[in-house]
Structure 1
């Protein structure tokens, strides 16, 4: 498997294993099975003939209802990755997730960009065929067939040939899909000892992911060791930017230590 070394803004190197084509295809297949299952169930529950009679054959209304029914499928990967910390159900089962190239959780804008550009990664065929059909080329059927194959494989081909196994949406959104092969070891790196009577101060820390806290802890340890005050200031600013915490500590060191303890408190003690 390919590995990816990310150098954070605080000059700490974090090593990840990049998800391979097989893992991503299996996750994609699982997600599509869920989508088709949803469509099958919904269209067997709804009696569209009854709806047609109820709306007196108003095709626009029927089409509008059909579009509303398909919204969960259309936006499935987008809201799943936002709500599930870079994962869909398929990705969770295959133990892979989306992160940005700095090692942190992607922003909502990153997720939206990545989702929107699926139109190029997997549906380029549709865009090109619209053009081909409009100009009326000779051997049109053969061209459309070739375009179908090419258009559906763009994302797959990019994942195979790019250094970080990125499709076009990943490249533009600066994201990469990693394999969480060392989940137990990964969790151990964020553990912090807490006193039994410990009282947390910053509930907003739950907006961080395990990966964020891992990077924060490793960066913090390195900065403390070398008295790198500039990195401590930058790290504190990044935490505040991501979580929206209003700091109650004047010292960068005390603030970051409290954030690490609070994260452990809210995620493991409650």
Structure 2
């Protein structure tokens, strides 16, 4: 399986395994099962022929309702990846996730770019077909048929043959899909997911090194799991001693979590 090597701000290398084409194809299939299930339920519940009678033959209104019904399917991968932190339901089931090539959480614009460029990865034939029909090319039906097959395979072929198993949307958005059930888990590194509107509290955290933060995170994770408050107090005291930070939080746990997030914020921006 291909690997992704991420170099942190302090030149520490972290390796992740890249999700292979089989994983991504299964996740894609699972997502489409959910989409078709939604459409089946909606079109079973709603009688669109009856709606035309309700609106006195106003076909435009019925079409508008049809478009609204399709919105959850059209934007499915976009809003699920944003809301589920880089995962659709299918990706969650297959334990794979979208991250930035630098190892951080993709921005909303990255997710939008990935979603928008699906038209190239999976529907390229539509763009070319429109052009062919407009210029009257001989044997256009055969060409369109071949383009349909090729157009649906663009994303799949790119995932197979690119170095980091990236489709076109990934390449442009600077993202990669990783396998989470790995020897080095995302949660075991110093990396943390931050809200897009996150505001840091302690600028002095930049005095810490990646190794310092890794030790702090591992120790804090263990102390929190076993309710070891003495260790949390020692951690808080050591962080304050090294950085000169004065805690603004009432609890040691909240202070340490903020320090970890602030460090990620400042190193991501560097």
Shorter-chain-normalised TM-score: which range? 0.7 to 0.9
Secondary structure of the 1:91 match is helix
CA distance in 2: counterparts of 1:4 and 1:154, whole angstroms: 22
CA distance in 1: counterparts of 2:244 and 2:255, whole angstroms: 11
Q: Is the 8 A contact 1:206 1:263 kept in 2?
A: no
Please, what TM-score do these two structures have when normalized by structure 1? 0.73
Query: Superposition pairs for residues 184-203 of structure 1, below 5 Å?
Result: 186-188=186-188
Partner of 2:80: 80
Residue among 205, 211, 215 paired with 1:222? 211
Partner of 1:164: 164
CA distance in 2: counterparts of 1:260 and 1:153, whole angstroms: 49
Per-residue CA deviation, residues 145-194 of structure 1 (Å, 9 max, x unaligned), is 1100111011011111110000000000000000012389554556xxxx
Query: Structure 2: which 5+ residue stretches go unaligned?
Result: 197-204, 215-239, 261-270
Secondary structure of the 1:28 match is helix
Secondary structure of the 1:207 match is coil
Partner of 2:96: 96
Query: Superposition pairs for residues 230-241 of structure 1, below 5 Å?
Result: none
Partner of 1:121: 121
Partner of 1:105: 105
Query: Structure 1: which 5+ residue stretches go unaligned?
Result: 191-204, 209-215, 226-248, 266-270
Partner of 1:135: 135
Per-residue CA deviation, residues 206-231 of structure 1 (Å, 9 max, x unaligned), is 639xxxxxxx9xx8343689xxxxxx
Task: Report how many aligned residue pairs link the two structures.
Answer: 221
Partner of 1:11: 11
The structure-2 alpha-carbon separation of the partners of 1:251 and 1:55, relative to structure 1 and needing over 3 Å to count, comes to: farther
Q: Is the 8 A contact 2:10 2:210 kept in 1?
A: no
The structure-2 alpha-carbon separation of the partners of 1:103 and 1:188, relative to structure 1 and needing over 3 Å to count, comes to: closer
Partner of 1:207: 195
Q: Is the 8 A contact 2:159 2:167 kept in 1?
A: yes
1:262 aligned onto 2:257? yes
- Aligned-pair Cα RMSD in Å: 3.3
CA distance in 2: counterparts of 1:49 and 1:9, whole angstroms: 60
Secondary structure of the 1:44 match is helix
1:45 aligned onto 2:33? no
